[in-house]
């Protein structure tokens, strides 16, 4: 649970607990997502405590006006919070408000009456094919003062992100049982605890096998496949740091993150004639509209080629 710098009204505190239990059991949200939701709603309630002069109860929430919500947004803007963070906080508050309404605890109409801040449309920034392939080459880090198994581990993780389109959490969530010897597919568990099958290229399989052979820890069944230097589960931050070093070596921009490899996977497949529905399944997107952003990415790449190559561009 998130530590609060103020006391919630008893009826709101009780409903917050019920909401957290609902998100955990029914929506199957991860502990980190639950913590983020609770923290965001706590920000909103904390502001209202000062704004109203008391911790708001359920009746106070139902009596909120659009002006109260706009005052919250203005206060957060003054604190330097950007549009994306503010939108996330409002989304959490609205989710809690919807839960209250569904359970007959009152309607917080003011939240629905205020528009969320607009976000500038941004497209994923994929790497080019050569850079994406180089990032998973252990030879690129051969001069580093690191154990060979650590370099092999990082290469295997990065290869899975690009070669199979995995999220970093999905790659690090793999167990030794998941990676069956010589299999050309993997079953991964993604968002919403949903499983899907993804292909494993021979080159990626080789990097995984190289890591398993060199890893000094016992990779027993149903234990994490990728380990930290002390033997515990590998932290995503370690892969992010490895990526920072590699993009420096290759002269890549800051947008070259581990998640950019997943973007690159989708964009490169689409650019070579991949079916959008198939790419949706491979990425584990619940909605095709989420995957369709890659059509815009590929169109932008084609336009760049046209502008740079056409004699009259």
Helical packing angle, 293-309 and 258-271, nearest 10°:
70
In sequence order, what are the residues at sequence separation of 6 or more whose Cβ sits closer than 8 angstroms to the Cβ of residue 21?
A: none
Handedness of CA 277, 181, 222, 203 (dihedral sign): negative
Of 141, 167, 227, 263, the catalytic one is: 167
Q: Token digits for 147?
A: 């154990």
Give how far Cα 28 sits from Cα of 31, 132, 189, 206, Å: 9, 33, 12, 34
Of 191, 205, 217, 237, the catalytic one is: 191
- Chain-centre distance for alpha carbon 122: 16
Q: Token digits for 144?
A: 């580093």
Of 37, 162, 211, 294, the catalytic one is: 294
Of 51, 70, 259, 301, the catalytic one is: 259
Of 76, 247, 262, 268, the catalytic one is: 262
- Determine whether 294 is an active site residue: yes
Q: Quote the CA–CA distance of 63 and 7 in Å, as a whole number.
A: 20
- Chain-centre distance for alpha carbon 136: 21
Q: Token digits for 313?
A: 């561009």
**227 secondary structure, DSSP code:** B
Q: Token digits for 162?
A: 């690009």
- Determine whether 285 is an active site residue: yes
- Determine whether 259 is an active site residue: yes
As to burial, measured by CB atoms within 10 angstroms (0-12 exposed, 13-18 middle, 19+ buried), residue 59 is exposed
Handedness of CA 73, 74, 79, 84 (dihedral sign): positive
Give how far Cα 191 sits from Cα of 91, 97, 136, 195, 245, Å: 18, 23, 25, 9, 29
- Determine whether 263 is an active site residue: no
Catalytic residues: 167, 191, 259, 262, 285, 294
């Amino acid at each position: 649970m998130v530590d609060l710098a103020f006391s919630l009204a008893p009826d709101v505190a009780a409903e917050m607990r019920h909401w957290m239990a609902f998100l955990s059991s029914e929506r199957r949200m991860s502990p980190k997502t639950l913590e983020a939701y609770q923290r965001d709603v706590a920000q909103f309630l904390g502001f209202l405590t000062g704004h109203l002069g008391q911790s708001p109860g359920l009746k106070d929430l139902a009596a909120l006006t659009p002006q109260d919500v706009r005052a919250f947004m203005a206060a957060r803007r003054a604190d330097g919070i950007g549009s994306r963070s503010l939108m996330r906080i409002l989304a959490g508050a609205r989710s809690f408000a919807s839960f209250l309404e569904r359970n007959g605890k009152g309607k917080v109409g003011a939240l629905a009456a205020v528009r969320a801040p607009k976000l500038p449309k941004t497209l994923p920034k994929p790497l080019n094919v050569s850079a994406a392939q180089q990032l998973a080459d252990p030879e690129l880090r051969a001069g580093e003062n690191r154990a060979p198994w650590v370099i092999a581990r990082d290469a295997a993780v990065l290869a899975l992100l690009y070669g199979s389109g995995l999220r970093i959490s999905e790659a690090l969530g793999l167990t030794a049982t998941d990676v069956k010897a010589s299999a050309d597919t993997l079953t991964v568990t993604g968002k919403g605890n949903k499983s899907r099958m993804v292909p494993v290229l021979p080159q990626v399989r080789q990097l995984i096998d190289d890591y398993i052979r060199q890893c000094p820890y016992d990779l027993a069944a149903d234990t994490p496949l990728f380990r930290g230097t002390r033997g515990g589960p590998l932290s995503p931050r370690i892969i992010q740091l490895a990526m920072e070093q590699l993009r420096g070596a290759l002269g890549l921009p800051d947008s070259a993150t581990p998640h950019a490899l997943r973007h690159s996977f989708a964009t490169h497949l689409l650019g070579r004639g991949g079916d959008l529905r198939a790419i949706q399944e491979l990425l584990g997107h619940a909605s095709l509209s989420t995957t369709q952003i890659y059509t815009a990415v590929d169109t932008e790449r084609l336009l760049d080629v046209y502008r740079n190559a056409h004699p009259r561009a």
